[in-house]
Amino acid sequence: MTTTAGLPREVMGAMDARLSMPYTLTAGAATGVFLAELAQQRIVGTRCSACETIRVPAQDFCGDCGGDAHDLVIVPPSGDLLAWTVTDQGTVALVLLDGTDIPFLHQVVEGDPAALSMGARVTAVWAAEPQGAVMDLMGFALAPSEPVHAVEEAGETATPIEQLNYQMVLDYQHAYGHFYGSLFDGIKNDRRIRGVRCPSCRNVLVPPRAYCEACFVRTGDWVDVPDTGVLQACSVVHIEFIGQRVPPPYVYAEIVLDGTSTRLIHTVGGLSAEALRSGSVHPGSRVQAVWSDRRTGSLSDIDFFKVIDGPADE
């Protein structure tokens, strides 16, 4: 292990990452009916049994008084435009549908937004092919001569839509910062693993960081760390799962690189199923990184660790 001076010639900047999570959202009774009825070009609201407030979309609870007793009502597809705002996602609008007490948040579609005025009469515009979602009602359009219609009792309503498939996709560019940037630059270009030493507890920390968590003091010298170490704990993985990088069986392991006091999570590979069954990988096993042909500047530039013989390198 050697102490190194100076900064690396290049520090890697940022890592692209994406979180993509599938959901099956449960709409609940009232919203489920509201969504289902849009296919029939009917707008379903609720009339609160306690305070008589009529709101749309239909809700299981009254937002004003908290009551959960209500009747479903059919609200006319016409109303007054209360407010709108033109955005890059369309003209988002509040429409007070005829006979209701709470405005309905949706969009104004068709026509020039410059022609809109507060209080203008509007009427619903329906999608040609309903999908079972709120955009089956595409929005509202100006309808100056549209008469005022009345709210009606709902009577028989469609089966509520129980679940909505939803995919949340969020993209990130995570900054590495100086410490991770230096580590990953060293891994990518020099196959060199770098840590920092805490001036208080003298521990060597990998990945490197500005502060030692345990002492809460600023770290000191950069330290080159060998790619050999000791396996501290391990688990043999036999199952397959989404996102797996190597086919099972393999060993998921905590590895303490020589001279460091931190545990690196990686894999031990290059072993037959028989070798794994016979327990040839165990806490205390000496391991060494097997570097990949790839140079991505991440810990996956190490394909896996292999078991080696010999004493710890101090």
Chain positions contacting another protein, by CB under 8 A: 11, 13-14, 17, 19, 25, 27, 31, 34-35, 55, 57, 59, 63-64, 82-90, 92, 94, 102-107, 113, 118, 133-135, 139, 164, 166, 168, 170-181, 209-214, 216, 218
Q: Which of another protein, Zn ion, none does residue 151 bind to, with CB < 5 to 8 Å depending on kind?
A: none
- Give phi and psi for 196, each to the nearest 5: -130, 155
> Does residue 271 interact with Zn ion by CB under 5 A?
no
**Options 1, 61, 67, 143; binder of Zn ion; rule CB under 5 A:** 67
- Of 108 and 289, the one with the shorter C-beta distance to another protein is 108
Residue in this structure with the two tokens 């530039």, named with its chain if needed: 301
Please, what is the minimum distance in Å from the beta carbon of residue 268 to another protein?
Answer: 25
Alpha carbon dihedral 72, 75, 80, 85, in 10-degree steps, equals: 70
Distance CA(312)–CA(249), nearest Å, equals 27
Tokens found for residue 175: 């900054």
Beta bridge partners of 80: 96, 121
Query: Which of another protein, Zn ion, none has residue 201 at its interface (CB below 5 to 8 Å by kind)?
Result: Zn ion
Give the residue with the Cβ less far from Zn ion, 141 or 215.
215
Residue 178 in tokens: 């100086």
**Is residue 51 close enough to count as binding Zn ion by CB under 5 A?**
yes
Cα diameter, the chain = 90
| Alpha-carbon span 61 to 48, nearest angstrom | 8
Please give the full DSSP string across 200-223, using - where no structure is assigned.
Answer: TT--EESS--SEETTTTEE---EE
β-sheet bridge partners, residue 85 = 92
50 binds Zn ion (CB under 5 A): yes
Residue 178's binding partner among Zn ion, another protein, none (Cβ under 5 to 8 angstroms by kind) is: another protein
- Contact indicator for 71, 154 with CB cutoff of 8 Å: yes
**C-alpha span between 30 and 70 (Å, rounded):** 10
The answer to whether 212 contacts Zn ion (rule: CB under 5 A) is yes
102 binds, among another protein, Zn ion, none (CB under 5 to 8 A by kind): another protein
Single out the residue of 25, 65, 86, 246 in contact with Zn ion (rule: CB under 5 A): 65
276 binds, among Zn ion, another protein, none (CB under 5 to 8 A by kind): none
Number of chain residues interacting with Zn ion (CB under 5 A) = 14
Near Zn ion in 184-203, by CB under 5 A: 198, 200-201
Residue type, 145: S
Residues that bind Zn ion (CB under 5 A): 48, 50-51, 53, 62, 64-65, 67, 198, 200-201, 212, 214-215
